[in-house]
Amino acid sequence: MAIYILFEGFSHGLSAIPYGLTMLKLSMSVLALYLLKRFFGGATYTSDRLMHSKAVMITGGTSGIGAAVAHDLASRGAQIVLLTHHAPSDPFLVDFIMDLRAQTNNEMIYAEQVDLSSLHSIRLFATKWIDNAPPRRLDMLILCAATMTPPFRKERDETEDGVEANWGVNYLANFHLLSILSPALRAQPPDRDVRVIMTTCSSYAAGTLDFKDEEFQDRGFTSAKKAKASAYGASKLALMIFAHSFQQHLTAYKRPDNQPPNARVTIVDPSWTRTPGMRRFLSAGSLWGLFLYLLTWPLWWLILKSPEQAAQTFLLAALDPELGTGVGGKMLRECREVVPLRDEVRDAGVGKDLWEMSEKMIEKLEKEGVERRKRKKEETERDSTEAKVKTKDANKSSGGSKASSSSARRNRKAT
């Protein structure tokens, strides 16, 4: 039957086949859609490497790209430590971990509570981690967590420490976390392949860093005060500069066993992806924006990667044997090495200025945090004391009223 239809088509043209022209147009449309989807989906990385006994720490591992990376590495047998702002007893987190364990057949999946918008929370976790003796195993640290302030927002998003949210979460939190965990990374045995993977975005090319701006040095306003759209790009630019500085920091360390450094930093640009953060950005953080996003969802489905597609370059950075040797500080995009578009990314002088400024900023913010927590504790104690005094006075009044009532009853009885 099919051969006869094809023969008729070749002999007498498409008009001889019922709905032939319509079917051809439909087939061409489906083919074009498939090719576009393959193009926007990006490159794919395949590897059969297993990760048994490897300890991998991931930020942002409960949603988006981080969740896809965590799922793949867990299915390869890696021990996964999820850093999340949820408490380990949170029902959502408990269900997420249980599902991930069942899907990957891997029970070595845990969670640690770390709020990246709080420098104090980061210090509590990181110091507890490095205080362990002997040093805990840590083969890989993947930094996927990030925030993106929606456009047209009148209020300025801030972290718990009063820092602009993009700068605080995307850059300062990662700087603080790695600065404290640095001894744990350098203390790993020389035969281990230690990797630090940071996430960037093409918007870094439009970011600006003004080290002479007092507001920038004080609260990391970056360019958000003048142009909110560039705050995200500035945070990613700073993170890339820090990545190269941190690689130099790891390389300059002289190990006690006189072995060469075994920790390497890799920067990954996953390209635009359909993550919760991207949905929040495209919808401008509003209900009307979400409604428009849902109406135009087929367009975003076509041109934006899925989290699984975006995770491919992360998997290359985590699994490729060649990236575990040689010089670190490489940047990857679409599963291949690329050169950063900004020269200051590899500028040692800019990296030094940014590092020193970040240390001073964190020192100041942590001092303010100590004072803030101290005042809050004093207020809590004062309120507790006042409540106890009021309760005591109320009990006395109640006791006096009862005594008066008893006395009145006795007098009436005597009468």
Q: What is the mean pLDDT of the chain?
A: 86
Domain residues for 148? 55-270+305-365
User: Can you give the CATH number for the domain in which 255 is found?
Assistant: 3.40.50.720
156: phi then psi, degrees, rounded to nearest 5: -95, 115
pLDDT at 210: 78
Among candidate residues 228, 236, 305, 330, the one labeled active-site is: 236
The answer to whether residue 87 sits within a structural domain is yes
The answer to whether residue 165 sits within a structural domain is yes
The answer to whether residue 11 sits within a structural domain is no
Annotated catalytic, 236? Answer: yes
The answer to whether residue 159 sits within a structural domain is yes
The answer to whether residue 83 sits within a structural domain is yes
Cα–Cα distances in Å, from 119 out to 48, 66, 176, 382, 401?
Answer: 38, 21, 7, 26, 53
Give the total number of structural domains in the chain. 1
Q: What are 316-340's pLDDT values in tens digits?
A: 999 999 998 888 899 999 999 999 9
The answer to whether residue 15 sits within a structural domain is no
Q: Is 160 helix (H, G, I), strand (E, B) or coil?
A: coil
Cα–Cα distances in Å, from 317 out to 46, 198, 229, 353, 369?
Answer: 12, 10, 29, 28, 36
The answer to whether residue 46 sits within a structural domain is no
Q: What are 196-236's pLDDT values in tens digits?
A: 999 999 989 888 887 777 767 666 665 445 545 578 888 99
The answer to whether residue 108 sits within a structural domain is yes
pLDDT at 223: 46
| Cis status of the peptide bond prior to 150, with omega within 30 of 0 | no
